[in-house]
Amino acid sequence: MNKKIALTGIKPTGLPHIGNYFGMYIPALELSKEYNTRYFIADYHALNSIKDPQKISELSYEVAATWLACGLDPQESILYKQSAIQGTFELTTFLMAFTSKGLMNRAHSYKAMVQNNIENSKDPDDGVNMGLFTYPVLMAADILQFDSDVVPVGKDQKQHLEMTIDIAQSINHNYKKELLKIPQALIQESTGYVTGLDGRKMSKSYNNTIPLFLPEKKLRKLIMKIVTNSQTLEESKDPDNCSIFSLYKLFANKDQQADLRSKYLAGGMGWGYAKQELFEVMNATLSPIRDEYNRLIENKNYIDQVLKDGAERASEIVSEKMAFIRKEIGLG
Ligand code: ADP
Ligand code: TRP
């Protein structure tokens, strides 16, 4: 039986962080055991905000190296850059004809920008380009071009997946056949949101991230910056309402967790101690991946080769899908 297809992508808009690692990279790579997997770097999505050619190119290499360092096997999975697959943009144009403007008006990220502009007495559409406004359509094309069965993403992408399904359903309804496979979001509910340095969701947009591949000293320094309350050393502390402990749980085994939990509850433990424990467990997990990342990022020719091979394999599948669609809709 043919394996099902899983696909996911990430924008090269900043250094990959711990939230991306647990919310996306790890669960997505887990799927390669069971699914045919396609992973990509959403560089045209990133272009909506990054206009500096050198920066977007460097960030794209960093994301590619992250995929590989986290365990992506380029023989088994397809790794490619979004911009390399011409068929994606043709599919986007087709999807546009079935996407109501009203649907785009309801996108959380667009609405949040408009709201923010209004609050700051600016024009509601200030800083909104059409790439950003139509972001969900390109994302739908990324997914639908491969007949993806599942799309592993963090919670914040749920609405984008609902929009993809909405667009695909109106197309299938119009042509009275399943031109496009209806995908399913695989949301990592158990991880929920990984918390950042300030206790909010870790996100590049909040400037509160712990980048995955910081050198050891910088990692320690950043962990020491995690915001804590002003409880004294003697006081008993609540592990279940603490950013340090919630990060610790992601890296530590059950025994380590139980041990630190009892230290929190007993009192006599300062925040500096908890942060040091967090640093140690985090560093132990991340240092082998960091070494691999550092090796890869110095080896851009290898990354280029992997991406070229991935683009060829992906393009072949997408060209076939587009030829089929063109014929079915009367353009072929
Ligand atoms: P950011 O919010 O930092 O810009 P992205 O939007 O690039 O992150 O997210 C890339 C992927 O990582 C998405 O699937 C997203 O849901 C996931 N992700 C991002 N931040 C977190 C987090 N704090 N916890 C869990 N998953 C996250
Ligand atoms: N919007 C996703 C994010 O910000 C990135 C992305 C683009 C994506 N196209 C996709 C994710 C297709 C899954 C499937 O994280």
Q: What is the pLDDT of residue 190?
A: 64
If phi > 0 it is left, if psi is from -120 to 50 it is alpha, else beta; for residue 104 that is alpha
Q: How far apart are CA 174 and CA 14, in angstroms?
A: 40
pLDDT digits (tens, 9 = 90+) for 173-204: 999 999 999 999 998 776 568 999 999 999 98
Low-confidence ranges of the chain (pLDDT < 70): 1, 190-192
Tell me the CB-side half-sphere exposure of residue 35, using CA atoms within 13 A: 23
Q: How far is the CA of 48 from the centre of ligand 1 (A)?
A: 17
Residue with tokens 């079915």: 328
Taking CA atoms, 54 is separated from 50, 61, 241, 328, in Å, by 10, 11, 41, 41
Q: How far is the CA of 197 from the centre of ligand 2 (A)?
A: 24
Residue 257's Cβ-count burial label (10 Å; 0-12, 13-18, 19+) is middle
Q: What is the pLDDT of residue 242?
A: 95
Give the alpha-carbon dihedral of 176, 180, 182, 184, to 10 degrees: 180
Q: How far is the CA of 302 from the centre of ligand 2 (A)?
A: 25
| Distance between start and end Cα atoms, the chain | 31
Contact 181, 151 (CB under 8 A): no
> Whose CA is closest to atom 9 on ligand 2?
139
Q: What is the pLDDT of residue 191?
A: 58
Q: How far apart are CA 287 and CA 284, in angstroms?
A: 6
pLDDT digits (tens, 9 = 90+) for 256-305: 999 999 999 999 999 999 999 999 999 999 999 999 999 999 999 999 99
Give, for ligand 1, the residue of 8, 11, 17, 24 to mutate: max count of ligand atoms closer than 8 Å to Cβ.
24
